[in-house]
Amino acid sequence: ETGVTQSPTHLIKTRGQQVTLRCSSQSGHNTVSWYQQALGQGPQFIFQYYREEENGRGNFPPRFSGLQFPNYSSELNVNALELDDSALYLCASSLNPGGTDTQYFGPGTRLTVL
Amino acid sequence: QQQVKQSPQSLIVQKGGIPIINCAYENTAFDYFPWYQQFPGKGPALLIAIRPDVSEKKEGRFTISFNKSAKQFSLHIMDSQPGDSATYFCAARHGSSNTGKLIFGQGTTLQVKP
């Protein structure tokens, strides 16, 4: 069984640019959630995708958007990057979107915005 | 009301000691409380979780104590080992929510000295 993988591992962008982060969910999981973890903080929920549809969103502006593909892998896109977007971006996959299904996290993508 | 407050921010114990990490919440709609462990360069991994109808849960050396009336819960690590040195996050979720959104505490960095 393959765990959750993310790419790239690290990324450096400048303010105003756009970035795409990728996540492959664990085998058999149809739900992917994205979180932003600022340095020294706990992860914050960005949004969740379930069967290719957005299924809930946290307190993030519309320049944070996502996609989920038929194989349940997912992308996080961030437009018009700001310095405060510098963080570790985590994706987590689960069997189902709600209830108490365990969310399995990937290793994250470290984004630095200069 | 959506916050989970975690303390202490950091903790140093000797090998064999019992570190205790505390969390408090306000929203009584939370009904699932997981603890995650995160090593540097890795994503959070589920350690143990509890529902509020149970006052205590043990898995190996890890124990959660839950006080529903006080809206507090804590993680105890028995016979701590240097390999337990990591950052620990408590979290909460609306068990009935269809998004599975996790709300994390700020994290506790634990160092276990040999």
CA A68, distance to chain mean position in Å, is 11
pLDDT tens digit string along A23-82? 999 988 999 999 999 998 999 999 999 999 999 999 999 999 999 999 999 999 999 999
Q: What is the pLDDT confidence band of residue B1, given thresholds at 50, 70 and 90?
A: low
Question: B98 and A97 in contact by Cβ < 8 A?
Answer: yes
Find chain B residues with C-beta within 8 A of A53's C-beta: none
Between CA A32 and CA A17 the distance in angstroms is 25
Query: What's the confidence (pLDDT) of residue A98?
Result: 76
Query: What's the confidence (pLDDT) of residue B94?
Result: 79
pLDDT tens digit string along A90-108? 999 999 887 778 899 999 9
CA A112, distance to chain mean position in Å, is 15
Selecting from B46, B96, B99 the residue whose C-beta is nearest the C-beta of A48 gives B99
Other CB atoms within a 10 A radius of the CB of residue A3 amount to 15
Give the three-state DSSP class for B13: strand
Which two three-digit tokens encode residue A52? 């290719």
Q: Report how far apart, in Å, the C-alpha atoms of B44 and of each of A17, A92, B107 are.
A: 28, 9, 11
Find chain A residues with C-beta within 8 A of B49's C-beta: 100, 102
Q: For A88, phi and psi rounded to 5 degrees?
A: -95, 125
Mean pLDDT (chain B, rounded): 93
Find chain A residues with C-beta within 8 A of B98's C-beta: 55-56, 97-98
Between CA A53 and CA B43 the distance in angstroms is 24
Other CB atoms within a 10 A radius of the CB of residue A108 amount to 26
User: Which distant-in-sequence residues (6+ apart) come within 8 Å of A59 by Cβ?
Assistant: A44
Between CA A70 and CA A68 the distance in angstroms is 7
Per-residue pLDDT at A1 exceeds 60: no
Q: Report how far apart, in Å, the C-alpha atoms of B95 and of each of A57, B32, B75, B99 are.
A: 16, 6, 20, 9
B103 in Cβ contact with A45 (< 8 Å): yes
Selecting from B96, B97, B102 the residue whose C-beta is nearest the C-beta of A103 gives B102
pLDDT tens digit string along A43-54? 999 999 999 999
Query: What's the confidence (pLDDT) of residue B101?
Result: 87
Amino acid found at B103: I
pLDDT tens digit string along B55-98? 999 999 999 999 999 999 999 999 999 999 999 999 999 766 77
Interface list for chain A against chain B, based on CB atoms closer than 8 Å: 4, 31, 33, 35, 40-45, 48, 55-56, 58, 90, 92, 94, 96-108
Per-residue pLDDT at B12 exceeds 70: yes
Query: What's the confidence (pLDDT) of residue B41?
Result: 86
Query: What's the confidence (pLDDT) of residue B98?
Result: 76
Query: What's the confidence (pLDDT) of residue B31?
Result: 86
Q: What is the torsional sign of CA A67, A2, B84, B20? A: positive
**Distance (Å) from the alpha carbon of A15 to chain B's nearest alpha carbon:** 25
Selecting from B43, B46, B98 the residue whose C-beta is nearest the C-beta of A108 gives B43
